[in-house]
Structure 1
Amino acid sequence: MIVIADGGSTKTNWCLINEAGRKIHFNTEGYNPYFSDSDYIESSLKSSLPDHLEADKLTEVYYYGAGCSTDAKRKIVEDAMQRVFVNAKINIGHDLLASCRALLGDNEGFAAILGTGTNTCLYDGNDITLNIDSLGYFLGDEGSGGFMGKRILADYMKGYMPKGLRESFYDNYALTNEDILDHIYNKPLPNRFCASFSKFIYDFKENYEDYTNSVVDYGFTAFFENLVVHYPNYKNYELNCVGSVGYSFRDILSLVADRYEMGVGKIIRSPIDDLVDYHLSKK
């Protein structure tokens, strides 16, 4: 039995392929080694894996995760996985490579992640050839849920949000300015906290279209200005994208891409199905 996983900072999508070739999907929380250590990942996995999954019978694990971009960070996840899947060969890769394989397969092109965080690259059909670092939650991640969430929170706290929408925000979350600052500066996983508010603008986009569209356009414009346009000959590629933010706001993403004279290719919410197909094709 093998298991393939695509892990973002918020959620991990898993697919178990059993001895009969049946695909069994399940989810756990996301595990970013910049925010979670091996002990935490191990504990979370043991408490959230399905009861029917016999972890000791797995032979291979292919895990692609947010933050798994260096040997040291991959080791954090690998150590945790080896403690849980004791008899399996553990293969840890970056979530950006998973996106490339899901979006492009064996073809070259441009691939991006627009979810809790942001990432981009050029791919040659086998591996990533150029990656401009998005610099993460504190310094970058333009276009991500975290980036847009910070803008929403700032507008709410400063009183820039439309009055009716500001009231709806409080009705939904009952957060004071002090609560928000405490979450961001004193509590774990501030990136996930900020990114959660991208759903708020999606839920209220019809009633407050001018404001919500401006926030999303602002995020995607920053994504292009700070990342995409710095790739050589970027206009020669199509924008292929994975992630809940890119998928949910794909209409605005397409408009911004057009503004920068870049065609749009494949935009999907999650890479897991295409990623499974990729691995099965290699067996």
Structure 2
Amino acid sequence: MILIVDSGSTKTDWCFVSHKHTTHTIHTKGINPVVQSQEEVRQTIEVDMEVEARQKAINLNDVDQIHYYGAGCVADKTHIIGQMLRNVFHKNAAITIESDIMAACHALCGNKEGLVCILGTGSNSCLYDGQKMTLHTPPLGFILGDEGSGAALGKLIVNAVFKGLLSQQLCNSFKEETQLELSDIINNVYRQPAPNRFLASLSQFAARHIDNPDIEQLVIMNFEQFIN
């Protein structure tokens, strides 16, 4: 059995493939070792995923190949993912770990060249020659970059709401729909785990109010920053 894992900061898809057919797909919280502690990553891989697999009667010892594509899979973090996968799966399973942008390259381009982009909780982009990335712009994470992402849009919305850049009606709608005060947002961003995931969740407010010209302009601004 082959396991293909596609992991972003918000959610992870675990796809089990046997004889070229998908047999099971399970879903867990996202994994990003750059912004999460090792304990948070361990909880998702060694506890949450195992529980889901057990409920679907998946024998993890049948997996002999694992192709893991994930957010935050930079050189000094991949060993964390590798070790935790080995704690769960058969010790002799062949494991390859690459960034989520490579999953997008394989899925979008196959063996052809192209410009590949990801817009999710974070953002990413690269040039791909059909086999490897030839140019990669570092996304720099939600504090320094990730333009175009859900987290970046969430930051724009928070700024617009609490700095009075939107109508009073929209500001009231934001507070009513999210049930968040400024103190809640400060706590979630500066004191709680996965602040990027929290900020990205606020982009749902933009989706609900995209017909409003001010919200539409925030979304356009976010995408323009990504393209630039």
TM-score (norm 1): 0.75
Structure 2 residue runs of 5 or longer lacking an equivalent are none
Matched residue, 1:173:
178
RMSD: 1.5
In the other structure, the counterpart of 1:192 is: 197
Contact 1:37 1:76 in 2 (8 A): no
Structure 1 residue 205 corresponds to structure 2 residue 174 = no
Q: 1:69-109 deviations in whole A, cap 9, x for unaligned? A: 22x11111111111111332221110011011111110001
Q: Following TM superposition, by how much is the alpha carbon of 1:159 offset from its aligned partner in structure 2, in angstroms?
A: 2.3
Q: C-alpha separation between the residues in 2 aligned to 1:172 and 1:2?
A: 42
In 2, Cα distance between the equivalents of 1:195 and 1:155? 15
Partner of 1:86: 90
| Distance in 2 of aligned mates of 1:80 and 1:38 | 9
1:137 aligns with 2:128: no
Q: Distance in 2 between matches of 1:20 and 1:97?
A: 21
Name the CA distance, whole Å, in 2 between partners of 1:37 and 1:79. 14
Q: Give the Å deviation of 1:19.
A: 5.4
Distance 1:105 1:158, change over 3 A: same
Report the Cα distance in structure 2 between the residues aligned to 1:131 and 1:25, rounded to whole angstroms.
30
Distance in 1 separating the partners of 2:39 and 2:90: 15
CA distance in 1, matches of 2:12, 2:197: 13
Residue 77 of structure 1 pairs with residue 81 of structure 2: yes
Q: Which runs of 5+ in 1 are unaligned?
A: 226-283
The match for 1:14 is 14
Indicate the residue corresponding to 1:217 in structure 2. Answer: 220
**2:123: which partner in 1?**
118
Secondary structure at the counterpart of residue 86 of structure 1: coil
Deviations 1:135-173 (A, max 9, x none): 111111111111110010111112222222222211122
For 2:58, the equivalent position in structure 1 comes to 53
The offset of 1:20, in angstroms, is 7.9
In structure 2, how many angstroms separate the alpha carbons of the residues matched to 1:18 and 1:79?
24
1:34 paired with 2:3, answer no
SS in 2 for 1:44: helix
* Segment drifting more, 18-27 vs 85-94: 18-27
Is the 1:38–1:80 Cα contact (8 Å) retained in structure 2? no
Question: Whole-Å Cα distance in 1 between the matches of residues 210 and 20 of structure 2?
Answer: 45
Aligned to 2:163: 158
Percent identical among aligned pairs is: 37
CA distance in 1, matches of 2:136, 2:157: 28
SS in 2 for 1:50: helix
Work out which structure has the larger RCO, using CA pairs closer than 8 Å and 6 or more positions apart in sequence.
1
Give the superposition deviation at 1:203: 1.5
- Give 1:191 shift: 0.7
- Residue 24 (structure 2) aligns with: 24
For these two proteins, the number of residue pairs brought into alignment is 222
What CA deviation, in whole Å up to 9, does each residue of 1:225-267 have, x standing for no partner? 2xxxxxxxxxxxxxxxxxxxxxxxxxxxxxxxxxxxxxxxxxx
Q: Deviations over 1:155-199 (max 9, x none)?
A: 111222222222221112211111111111111111111111111
Report the Cα distance in structure 2 between the residues aligned to 1:35 and 1:134, rounded to whole angstroms: 13
Runs of 4 or more, structure 1, over 4 Å off, are none
